[in-house]
Amino acid sequence: MMREGVENNIPDSHRFAKHRPDIEQKFNDIIQSSTRKNKDIDQIIRDRYNIKKHTIIPLDHQAKAPTITTLPDDYIHYCEPRILTVREYARIQSFPDWYQFRGKYTTGGKLRTQEVPRYSQIGNAIPPLFAEQGGIILKQLLK
């Protein structure tokens, strides 16, 4: 279902972020040392890397993903030292691979009031499969 209707091998928005080597190393260390997969990192890791950011969650490939936000650096891939791609975000939210996102990948500061970057489009969306279920129930109620 996810890949149905895709004409090329690489779906839209599957570009990897270009992290600095020190960020990759930090992410790798977090993946290796974190015992709390799919949960925010603990204070020991925060102190070790002087992390001030509110949320950083190393994902667990065998569990359901936590709620997706509009900030891509809230999540670390479960086995690779990087954030998720837009397409990986979209797959978690049940968007089919043929669905295309447009605009910048991310923005910050005042630009967020003028543009909606791809990660925000996904984080703010109602997941298609959830919307479909809501539509089915609404249709039954209207009969």
> In this predicted model, what pLDDT tens digit does every residue of 7-63 receive, in sequence order?
666 667 888 889 999 999 999 999 998 888 889 998 999 999 999 888 999 999 999
Spatial separation of the C-alpha atoms in residues 125 and 21, rounded to whole Å: 32
| pLDDT value for 8 | 63
Kindly report the pTM of this predicted structure: 0.82
Q: Is the pLDDT of residue 2 over 90?
A: no
> In this predicted model, what pLDDT tens digit does every residue of 14-26 receive, in sequence order?
888 899 999 999 9
- pLDDT range class, residue 4, cuts 50, 70, 90: low
83: closest CA among 31, 9, 8? Answer: 31
- pLDDT range class, residue 86, cuts 50, 70, 90: very high
The three state secondary structure string of the chain is: CCCCCCCCCCCCCCCCCCCCHHHHHHHHHHHHHCCCCCCCCCHHHHHHHCCCCCCCEECCCCCCCCCCCCCHHHEECCCCCCCCCHHHHHHHCCCCCCCCCCCCCCCCHHHHHCCCCHHHHHHHCCCHHHHHHHHHHHHHHHC
Q: Which two tokens stand for residue 78?
A: 């479960």
Instruction: Say if residues 103 and 116 touch (Cβ distance below 8 Å).
Output: yes
List of domains in the chain? 21-142 (3.90.120)
